[in-house]
Structure 1
Amino acid sequence: MKIIVTGSLGNISKPLTEELLSKGHEVTVISSNAERTSDIETLGAKAAIGTMENVDFLTETFRGADVVYAMEAINHGVFFNHEIDFIQANIQIAKNYKEAIEKSGVKNIIHLSSIGAHMEKGNGILAFHYEVEKILNELPEDVSIKFMRPVGFYYNMYAFIPTIQSQNAIIQNYGGDEKEPWVSPLDIASVIAEEIEKPFNGREIRYIASEEISPNEIAKTLGEAIGKPDLKWLEIPDEDLLNNLTNAGMNPKTAKGFVEMNAARKGGILYDDYFKNRPVLGRIKVKDFAKDFAKAYQNS
């Protein structure tokens, strides 16, 4: 099949591209960075250099494809840009995707959505996923869409490193012994590759998770990996976390969204629909990720 992969050679898109190529598919990888061309071609894929803001570029790249894997790939550096509204920027990309899909005539879409996309409000920064799914669902009925809803990514835990170094603790506005789902990008890539080869039938949703584990268990696992077996996960009030994030320079609106998202984890509100549609867990566990975490910690 001819498959378009967005997200350049990111944490999901690179292993996805490699798996699709190994199965004999023709893959085109979209990247905004021309310097990635060589790396993409070395894998055996075709590079399409352009941006998600350019509808004409997207339309021409999508044209003739059997499947498009679409994700909103905004660099996390914008979290600290006070001029960019992160949620609205992602919503605009979704509108661009919708227009390009209609104009190109592609009929099979796999979209990287997220846990929390079932919630119209109360999900903080994840609110854009609800809006994006709504926009894509406006496409004609003959366009089949598989919405992939991964849970929290393991690599988001790298953000714990500064407070571990400075205060010898993981500090968030949620915590405790209640298990919640986390996921490896490698497991996400495997699921997407699997779904690409399965029939497309209208609109479908699939959650993706690797392990269900509590904050306290995460602290123990990461602590052991970095030589701090007594590492603790400390829960602080929402207001304190908001102050910490804004003092670090994060866009105030984005910081508020992060705090609200984390608050929705407490009591499982964020995971209501996930547990109603619980997936088979992937192969990569936090103990596996902890090896990479330890390397990042030692090199930071």
Structure 2
Amino acid sequence: MNIVLTGSLGNIGKPLTQELAQKGHSVTVISSNPQRQEEIEAMGARAAIGTMQDINFLSQAFTSADIVFLMETMEAVGDTFDKSVDFIGQITHIGQHYKQAIERSGVKKVVHLSSIGADMDRDNGILLFHHNVEQILRQLPTEVAIKFMRPVGFYLNMFSFIPTIKRQGAIISNYGGDTKEPWVSPIDIAAAISEEMDQPFDGRMVRYVASDEVSPNEIARALGKAIGKPDLQWRVISDEQLLTGWLNIGFNEQVAKGFVELQASQGNGKLYKDYYRNRPTLGRVKLADFAQDFALAYHND
């Protein structure tokens, strides 16, 4: 099949490109960075250099594709310390560009990398842009079949714990405790996307993707053991304290408030209601596996 991937060679795009190319698919990877072209081609794929803000470029890139894979990231629109960026607004615009490009190109099969929380129009913090993009794509004609992939929180987000562990000797958040929540590896996300591309498309479907279900205190114990700090604690502070801390280090206000709200929703369980109604089979990469990667990053930081 002729498959076009947005998102360049990131944490998901790279293993997905490798897997699809190995399966014999004709893969085109869209990247805004010309320096990525050589790496893309070395993986057996074709590079299409352009931006998600360019509707004409997207339309041309999507033309003749059997399947288009769509994703949008905060990194694609700006730095989280840039106080002038409207992340939710700009990413929502990318969703509108995707819709127009699909309509113009005639693509009939779409896989969209959305997120946990995309079912919610409030209480999902910064993830609101995923809800917005899903709603935009659902406006496409019914003959366009869409698979919405909703991964849960990435293990990779835990790398943000490293500075706080080193400075304050603890993981610090506005929620914690012993209630389990799902986490996921990009490897398992890429595998789920590849699997869905090989399955029939019909209408609109949602699939959650998770690798393990663990509590904040279990995370602290696992990461602490891996880095040689077996007494590492997950410490809970108030929403106000967390927000003040993030604003003081220069975070974009929308981002800071968005993550505080998101993490509060993790703690009270609102974020996971639809996930548990549609609970997936867990992937193969467990917290213990990621803890080894965390330890390498921690000691090399």
Aligned partners of 1:276, 1:53: CA distance in 2, in Å? 35
Instruction: Answer yes or no: is the 8 Å Cα contact 1:78–1:86 preserved in 2.
Output: no
- 1:200 maps to 201
- 1:73 maps to 73
Aligned partners of 2:168, 2:258: CA distance in 1, in Å? 24
Instruction: Answer yes or no: is the 8 Å Cα contact 1:91–1:132 preserved in 2.
Output: yes
- 1:102 maps to 103
Partner amino acid, structure 2, of 1:14: K
Which residues of structure 2 form unaligned runs of 5+?
A: none
- State the Cα RMSD in Å: 0.8
Cα deviations by residue, 1:46-98 (Å, 9 ceiling, x for unpaired)? 00000000000000000000000000133176211111111111101000000
Aligned partners of 1:92, 1:120: CA distance in 2, in Å? 17
SS of 2:146's partner is strand
Instruction: Answer yes or no: is the 8 Å Cα contact 1:52–1:93 preserved in 2.
Output: yes
SS of 1:174's partner is coil
How do residues 232-271 of structure 1 correspond to structure 2 at under 5 angstroms? 232-271=233-272
How do residues 1-300 of structure 1 correspond to structure 2 at under 5 angstroms? 1-75=1-75, 78-300=79-301
SS of 1:75's partner is helix
Partner amino acid, structure 1, of 2:212: E
Aligned partners of 2:47, 2:131: CA distance in 1, in Å? 30
Runs of 4+ aligned residues of structure 1 deviating over 4 Å after TM superposition are none
Cα deviations by residue, 1:19-58 (Å, 9 ceiling, x for unpaired)? 0011100000000000000000000100000000000000
SS of 2:79's partner is helix
Aligned partners of 1:291, 1:200: CA distance in 2, in Å? 37
Aligned partners of 2:73, 2:17: CA distance in 1, in Å? 16
TM-score using structure 2 length = 0.99
Q: Percent identity?
A: 60
Aligned partners of 1:205, 1:31: CA distance in 2, in Å? 26
Partner amino acid, structure 2, of 1:25: H
Aligned partners of 2:6, 2:287: CA distance in 1, in Å? 27
Deviation, 1:268, is 1.0
Aligned partners of 2:32, 2:249: CA distance in 1, in Å? 28
Aligned partners of 1:183, 1:267: CA distance in 2, in Å? 20
Cα deviations by residue, 1:243-283 (Å, 9 ceiling, x for unpaired)? 11111110112100100000001221100000000000000
Aligned partners of 2:20, 2:74: CA distance in 1, in Å? 23
Aligned partners of 1:245, 1:98: CA distance in 2, in Å? 34
SS of 1:292's partner is helix
Instruction: Answer yes or no: is the 8 Å Cα contact 1:115–1:270 preserved in 2.
Output: yes
Aligned partners of 1:201, 1:245: CA distance in 2, in Å? 43
Aligned partners of 1:248, 1:148: CA distance in 2, in Å? 33
Partner amino acid, structure 2, of 1:208: V
Moved more, 75-84 or 164-173: 75-84
SS of 2:84's partner is coil
Instruction: Answer yes or no: is the 8 Å Cα contact 1:184–1:210 preserved in 2.
Output: yes
TM-score using structure 1 length = 0.99
Which residues of structure 1 form unaligned runs of 5+?
A: none
Partner amino acid, structure 2, of 1:20: L
* Matched residue count: 300
Aligned partners of 1:297, 1:8: CA distance in 2, in Å? 26
Moved more, 264-273 or 143-152: 264-273
Instruction: Answer yes or no: is the 8 Å Cα contact 1:147–1:204 preserved in 2.
Output: yes
Cα deviations by residue, 1:158-209 (Å, 9 ceiling, x for unpaired)? 0000110001100000100000000000000000000001000000000000
Deviation, 1:236, is 0.5
Partner amino acid, structure 2, of 1:162: P
Aligned partners of 2:268, 2:87: CA distance in 1, in Å? 26
